[in-house]
Structure 1
């Protein structure tokens, strides 16, 4: 059961999860991260590290709309193996609902 990054990550992108991932399965977009489901070993160490609670197992109902998006964009975005600074306004976006419309398909740096 791979883990999935959901819309709670949009505009937050804290990246604490990247630091603990033993297999480097995170990929960075312009305003969120995704997990490559074929690389994730289901260890779960990333889930409690996310301040935005954006990471869930694929069996969680919140993951359904994001499983395929994680797969697609993990193949297009660059791999990220170290934590960068979150956006300056990440805390303002952390608990806001309905961020899916703000999703950017553009790769991160």
Structure 2
């Protein structure tokens, strides 16, 4: 199994999770992170580090976030690997509690 970054990450892109990841499974897009399912070792250390609770074990994904499994896999082929912490997006705090953000995803 793998872990999946969900919609809560969009327009926030906190990277606390990247610092604790023992492998290079995170990829950074313009306004969201994704996890490469082929690199994730299912250690779960990233889950507790996410300040917006955007990361789930694949088997624990809420029903309305199921599409993010395929989206993470797809976008790892588009977004570059990120292996060190970066500052969150400038307006991340304003977006952290907003829902229904999929239409705001920048590829």
- Specify the TM-score bucket, using the shorter chain as the normaliser: over 0.9
**Pair 1:86 & 2:88 matched:** yes
Gaps of 5+ in 1: none
Partner of 2:47: 47
After TM superposition, where is structure 1 displaced by more than 3 Å over at least 4 residues in a row? none
Between Structure 1 and Structure 2, the one with more helix by share is 2
Distance (Å, rounded) in 2 between the aligned partners of 1:72 and 1:33: 12
Match of 2:77 among 75, 78, 85: 75
Gaps of 5+ in 2: none
3-state SS of 2:4 partner: strand
TM-score (norm 2): 0.94
TM-score (norm 1): 0.93
Q: Which moved more, 1:53-62 or 1:13-22?
A: 53-62
Partner of 2:104: 102
Deviations 1:16-53 (A, max 9, x none): 00000001100000100000001100000000000010
**May I ask how many residue pairs the two structures share in their alignment?**
105
Partner of 2:9: 9
